[in-house]
Chain A
Amino acid sequence: MAPVLDIVGLDLSIGGRPILKGIDLSVAQGEIHALVGESGSGKSMTALTIMRLLPHGAAASGQLLFNGQDLLAATEPQMCALRGDDIGMVFQEPMTALNPVKTIGEQVAEGIRLHTGASAAEALDRARGMLDRVGLPEKRFALTRYPHELSGGQRQRVVIAIACALNPKLLIADEPTTALDVVLQAQILDLLRELVEEQRMGLVLISHDLGVVADMADRITILKEGAVQEAGKATDVLLERKHPYTARLAEASTHVPQWTNRKAEPGEPLLTVSGLKRDYPGKRTSLFARGEPFRAVDDVSFSIPAGRSVGLVGQSGCGKSTLARLILALDRPTGGTIHFDSIETTGANETTLRRARREMQVVFQDPYGSFDPRWTVEHLICEPLHLLDRQPSRAEQREKALFALEEVGMPADALTRYPHEFSGGQRQRLAIARAIITRPKLVVADEPVSALDVSIRARILDLFAKLNDDLGIAFLFITHDLAVARAITHEVMVMDHGRIVETGPTACVLDHPQSPAAQRLVKASPDLEKALARRLMA
């Protein structure tokens, strides 16, 4: 049978810069075709080329056949007739993909009216059916709701309803679950899979996550720097890993660092948290009243031994980041105590806290937001030296900075440069250099690798392992990604609705989760090897 989408030798350049080089891609009816690659590989641009929604100054050539029609030759009115009717698209960021001033009913019905000429009432009727199909029944999610009244996962369902409302022959999903946590991700992926089966459409699934792809895709195309590296049946490609780039990607996404201390025995308690609570005031319900306060952290107790790496995992909104802030004394708890290195940090003044802060540093998620863009690297990584009792001289500062740079594997000439001159992975190394410059006993790392491509992520995990081996720094590793927790932690704590529901050695918890929250998390987490094993069994 003829493929729905047949791309041969697609080239694309924007403003004269080549973006795509000779892409071939063919998608059959009812087939899920994964388009995989790291950032800058041209995945999203391929999608926008198919939709013909490219930015100004883009020039595409080659053959782009949809149902036998050459889309590159189609006029704009022809494309308008195809978009939303025969070709649907789902975007990465559900929070901004919907018009905030229109109801969800209106937004789903709009495309239906446009393409079928249905009356407003008929279109709304079909929209109702479609929203029901994607898991937003009218009884609980009235059509008159506005996007801001829905959560991220629910909004993504609305976007899917818009894209699939008219049974498109081709659906393009551009990282549809990257902005969602693993549990929601699994639900959305299930929904997409069901819709593909029901409507027999072709799905182009764009993803950076081999675990997701291994689970979903029939066929796979691997892109790097705008060129196809390998293509074929998903299970074959991912099992055989014939192409070196495929092999590298697969290795990186399941990478486990060399880590001597992995088997080390726990030391003395370094951080002890008991009965910690944090309430946020409730939403204003009327002029003079507030709703129930929201408890972000609820009676949390645990301790981290010196030199230990402890993971904190959970769905988004479970209170992980709030807990991190409380530990770092960047936020004040409503109740409970935190003892760090024999100092009670809860309720302590900044003078007392200085002693604790010196021994406790932080690495954040966003490698772009972690640095003041106006400071040089030397200035930036020396900022925590402010905490030392005796301020080091300029020469001493420089020496410490150079040493820290060497430890994180950055060249000495980085000192005089500015953060925007570095890539994401390099910046994360600089953030780690800043965190270790005072020789702390604990580093709190809040999703330190989730903004990085898999190959870079693997190298950063290696670095964390090395620091634990060499310097004996304890880590509190906050992550939503169980593969990361598995790679770099001794123990994990599972957090759910502000409570810690399960703790134990990493392998035990992740292989045999006991609590429903942990089970949900483990079940939903994409895992390349497990997915492949499952597919082979079937």
Chain B
Amino acid sequence: MLTYTLSRLLIVAATLVVASMVVFAVLELVPGDPARLMLGMNATEDAILALRTQMGLDQPVLTRYLDWAGGLLVGDFGRSYTYSVPVIDLVAERVVVSLPLALMALALSTAIALPVGIFSAAGHGRTADTVTMGASQLGVAIPNFWFALLLVYVFAVTLRWVPAGGFPGWQAGLWPALKALILPAIALALPQAAILARVTRSALIETLSEDYIRTARAKGLTAQKVLWTHALRNAMIPVLTILGLQFAFLLAGTIIIENVFTLPGLGRLVFQAINQRDLIVVESVVVLLVATVILVNFLVDLAYAWADPRLRTR
């Protein structure tokens, strides 16, 4: 188990390093002078020079990468040019919106998908199964931002139950803040739940045809009990894979959904930064999101070892 964890950790570390290099390298590709790009056409030479020094553009590439990566490690993401504040402050301010949103969506999607998937697999081939799977087929096809528009129209514009967008901030109280996140979370969660339910169902159906299920039935266990005590845990292995992948999609999805609901999260930050050509902010947010995806996949790997003892002895 220790070997497994350590070897996964090593891979995670290497992936993080390579991913940060990729982000750094892509932004190095900026045609021309990044300082000029950021400041626009009518900037003075002095201002450009000052920004160049601040960004360390007079240093060799390797030094700049090491400085930047070293800074990331201690939480120093550099200074945003347009906001003139440390990027970490900007990120910290926005992450309290994006992260709760992604987590809410993940929890919601799992809470819907697992029961539906299990229910469908247990009644495999019956009408209820056909209906739920038909609905999930539709759910998979719905783009989350379109669904979000629909929700806004129904619940915010027509029924006026929740605000159509914006975020009052957590200081406004737990309930108003949560209320602002409910629709975005639902919009993110439902299409993902449809995918997850389908995966759960097919994993469970496949597991139920395994030889050891027959062994368990030959012990005298009822079909119901076999499903819960033997099949479910084995079926969790593919479900975990999808769950890990989904987190990446949810995170990316928040960027889009924040735009539908004008939530002041990382997604909004990144788009503002693109418009203002604030490359430092773009770079930092992308690296942060990529790192989160990698770490979540590491957690999924550990969960594998929990679900499957065969991995522990490796």
Contacts and interface: CB of A to CB of B under 8 A. Distances in A.
Task: State if A and B touch, Cβ cutoff 8 Å.
Answer: yes
Contacts of B218: 51, 53, 83-84, 88-89, 91, 163
Contacts of B313: 148-149
Interface residues of A, number: 35
Interface stretch (B83-91, B192-200, B304-312): B304-312
A115 B220 contact: yes
A115 B218 CA distance: 12
Contacts of A91: 211, 214-215, 218
A110 B211 contact: no
4 A-B pairs with least C-beta separation = A84-B220, A84-B219, A111-B219, A96-B211
B309 A83 contact: no
B233 interface: yes
A159 B221 CA distance: 15
Given A91-B211, A99-B234, A81 B7 contact: no
B212 interface: yes
Contact of B6 (A89, A101, A149, A287): A287
Given A96-B210, A97-B211, A146-B310, A83 B219 contact: yes
Interface string A82-104: 11110011010100111111100
Task: Give the interface residue-count category, chain B.
Answer: 20 to 34
B275 interface: no
20 contacts: A76-B222, A80-B220, A80-B222, A91-B218, A96-B210, A96-B211, A96-B212, A97-B212, A98-B215, A100-B212, A100-B309, A110-B216, A111-B221, A114-B219, A114-B220, A148-B309, A148-B310, A162-B219, A285-B3, A287-B10
B227 to A, nearest CB: 13
B160 interface: no
Contacts, number: 82
Contacts of A93: 211
A110 B212 contact: no
Contacts of B221: 80, 84, 110-111, 114
Contacts of B216: 99, 110
B313 to A, nearest CB: 7
A159 B307 CA distance: 22
A101 B234 contact: yes
Given A146-B310, A148-B309, A287-B10, A101 B233 contact: yes
A102 B230 contact: yes
B217 interface: yes
A82 B219 CA distance: 9
Contacts of B6: 287
A391 interface: no
Contacts of A349: none
A390 interface: no
Contact of B310 (A53, A100, A163): A100
B68 to A, nearest CB: 29
Contacts of A393: none
Interface in A107-135: 110-111, 114-115
Consensus secondary structure, chain B interface: helix
Contacts of A81: 220
Contacts of B3: 284-287
A111 B219 CA distance: 5
Nearest to A79: B220
Contacts of B210: 96
Nearest to B306: A101
Given A99-B234, A111-B219, A115-B220, A284 B314 contact: yes
A93 B310 CA distance: 19
Interface in A212-269: none
Nearest to B310: A148
Interface in B51-106: none
Interface string B1-23: 00100110010000000000000
A159 B222 contact: no
Nearest to B232: A101
Contacts of A77: 222
Given A99-B234, A111-B220, A114-B221, A162 B310 contact: no
A287 B7 contact: yes
Nearest to A115: B220
A91 B211 CA distance: 9
Contact of B230 (A76, A99, A286): A99
B220 A83 contact: yes
B269 to A, nearest CB: 39
Contacts of A163: 218
Given A80-B222, A101-B234, A146-B309, A53 B217 contact: yes
Interface in B174-222: 210-212, 214-222
Interface in B279-314: 307-310, 313-314
A96 B313 CA distance: 19
A159 B314 CA distance: 25
A119 B268 CA distance: 58
Contacts of A284: 3, 314
Contacts of B307: 101
A100 to B, nearest CB: 6
B211 to A, nearest CB: 4
Nearest to B312: A146
Nearest to A144: B309
A224 to B, nearest CB: 25
Contacts of A88: 218
Nearest to B124: A56
A97 B7 CA distance: 31
A88 B233 CA distance: 25
A385 B73 CA distance: 62
A122 B131 CA distance: 45
A110 B309 CA distance: 19
A91 B6 CA distance: 39
A102 to B, nearest CB: 7
A149 B234 CA distance: 17
Given A53-B218, A99-B215, A101-B234, 9 more contacts: A51-B218, A53-B214, A91-B215, A98-B215, A99-B212, A99-B230, A100-B309, A101-B307, A102-B230
Contacts of B234: 99-101
A285 to B, nearest CB: 8
A172 B197 CA distance: 38
B231 to A, nearest CB: 9
A373 to B, nearest CB: 22
